[in-house]
Amino acid sequence: MIYILTSLLIVYLLFKEWQTQKVIKDLTTKIMAKNLEEYLLLTSKSGSPEKTPISESDYLPIEESPIWEDKEKFEEAIRKK
């Protein structure tokens, strides 16, 4: 019984860690994107560094990143994706 509960706890903790990493990656992408089109482009790229080299000119520094002005347009684009 303890083995089953321990296994379930481990699976739950791994799932929560995966969720956290996914949220952090999404937030980082939102901060780095200059506009909605770039956000959609960044989220559609594969995660392979060989296929998607990152250059420093692709992103604004955090303090220069724009605030999403049209929240509804942004949410609609995310839903479509």
Domain ranges, ordered by start, for the chain: 12-42+61-81
Query: Structure tokens of 40?
Result: 């959609």
> What's the rounded Cα separation, in Å, for the pair 39 and 77?
10
Each residue's pLDDT tens digit, 20-35: 988 888 888 777 777 7
Residue 64 has pLDDT above 50, yes or no: no
pLDDT confidence of residue 59: 53
**SS3 state of residue 54:** coil
Each residue's pLDDT tens digit, 34-59: 777 777 777 776 454 445 555 555 55
pTM higher than 0.75, yes or no? no
Query: To the nearest whole number, what is the mean pLDDT of the chain?
Result: 72
